[in-house]
Structures are given as C-alpha cells and as structure tokens.
Structure 1
Amino acid sequence: MTTSYGTGAIWLAIVGAGVGTFAIRLSFILLLGRLDEAPPTVEGILRFVPAAVLAALVAPSLVALSAEPSLGLSYAPEKVGAGAIAAVVAWRTENVLATIGVGMAALWTLQVVV
C-alpha cells in the first residue's frame, strides 16, 4: 500500500499517538495517586468503564457502513442476533465474562444455523 506521507511523518504520528496515550494514562495515575480514596462519583463513573469498552469494541462489528453508493448500514443477521443475546445476558447477569462467553457461543451457533 502506498501513501503520500513520508516515513518520518508516519513514525511521528505513531510516536505522537503513543506519547499522547501515555500522558493521558499517567495523568489519571498522578491525579488519583494523590488521593487516599477516590470520590464516590469517580468510583461510580469508573464502574461503567468495562461495559463502555466492550460496547465500543463490539458495536462497529454489529453494524457497519456499506461501501455501496447508497451508503446505508449493512449488518449480518447472525452477528446482530448474537449481540442481542449477549446484551440480554449482560443485563441479567452483569458479568462481563458470561456476556463474552454466551455471545461467542451464540455467534458460532447462529453462523452454523443461519
């Protein structure tokens, strides 16, 4: 694959992204490291981080923009079905590992059946 950017510009972007990620993570460590205990609001917000990360990783694979001229949404029925089953498991059990396990089993089963 070719690009109009030079090797130096690409490496600068990679290093810049790495430094930015490190700085963001370090800022939270330094900020929360000064506190003996995190405030209840911060603890409440941090409870939702695993679910938000899982949703951010899974949602793009469930529904994606098609490359066709209509630019509509495209989806695979087995992925959406497995996602719905996993969402119900997440809602009922509030267990991330159970959600991932049941979602994977549902996807594999639906891929064979559908």
Structure 2
Amino acid sequence: MSVWLIMVICGLLTFGLRLSFIAAEGRVTFPRWFRVLLPFVPVATLTALVIPELLLADGALWLSWRNTRLMAGIVAIIIAAATRSVLWTLVGGFATLALWSSLIG
C-alpha cells in the first residue's frame, strides 16, 4: 500500500471520528461517567506521546543530565507551571534543548 494512500485513509478515519461527536451532539446522550472522563483524554494522550520521547533513548530508560530532551522537558514543565503560557513554554523548552545540545555536544 502506498504511504499516501495510508495517510489519506488515516485522515478520513480521524475526520470521521471527530465528526461523529459533532454530529451526535444533541441527538445522543452520553453516560455521566463518559462526560466526566472526557476532559482527561487530551492530557492522557499528550502524556502518552511526550513521556517516551523524554525518558527513552533507543528503547532504554535514560535518566541523566546528559539527556537533552529530558532537561528541556523539565524546564518546559517549570515554565508551564509558572506562566501558564503555551508560547513561553515552547520557547523556553526549545531554547533549553538548543542550548543544552550545544553544551553537551
């Protein structure tokens, strides 16, 4: 199968899934437990994507000050907690990653 075909299929599936929730609004009543848990989905998804990138190198756990991604992630977390600003979190995290990478070599 072509990579482009797979990308189009995945895009259509994602669009269809998102559209289903919009189209169902007002017509379907979701259970209370579902509505209570729904706000946690973005946080859980983002965590599942980010944490392996910060903590793993070549499939092995790497907790070291030489892990530039981990150090940049820690700085980004501190900036996010202090400022609550997505922009400053991204700028601080990327700046730390660039600086730490140049210092470590």
Please give the range of the TM-score, normalised by the shorter of the 2 chains: 0.5 to 0.7
1:97–1:46 CA distance, 2 compared to 1 (3 A): farther
Task: Report percent identity of matched pairs.
Answer: 30
Q: Higher helix share goes to which structure?
A: 2
Per the normalisation by structure 2, the TM-score is: 0.62
Q: Match for 2:11: what amino acid?
A: G
Aligned position for 1:73: 61
Amino acid at match of 1:26: L
Instruction: Tell me the CA shift for residue 28 of structure 1.
Output: 1.9
Runs of at least 5 residues in structure 2 that lack an aligned partner in the other structure: 28-34
Partner of 1:112: 102
Match of 1:87 in 2: 77
What SS class does the counterpart of residue 92 from structure 1 fall into? helix
From 9, 13, 31, the equivalent of 2:24 is 31
Rounded to whole Å, the distance in 2 between the matches of 1:93 and 1:25 is: 31
**Corresponding residue SS for 1:82:** helix
Structure with greater Cα Rg: 1
| Within-5 A mapping of 1:43-58 | 46=39, 49=42, 54-58=46-50
Shift in Å, 1:65: 5.5
Tell me how far apart the structure 2 counterparts of residues 45 and 94 of structure 1 sit (CA, whole Å).
Answer: 22
Aligned residues: 95
Shift of 1:86: 0.4
TM-superposed CA distance for 1:57, in Å, is 4.2
Letter in 1 for 2:50: V
Instruction: Show the counterpart of 1:38.
Output: none
Q: Deviations over 1:9-64 (max 9, x none)?
A: x94x55543332122110121133x39xxxxxx6x954873x55554443332122
Question: Relative to structure 1, is the Cα distance of residues 53 and 90 closer, same or farther in structure 2, using a 3 angstrom cutoff?
Answer: farther
State the distance in 2 between where 1:105 and 1:57 align: 21
Q: Do residues 61 (structure 1) and 53 (structure 2) align?
A: yes
TM-score by length of 1: 0.58
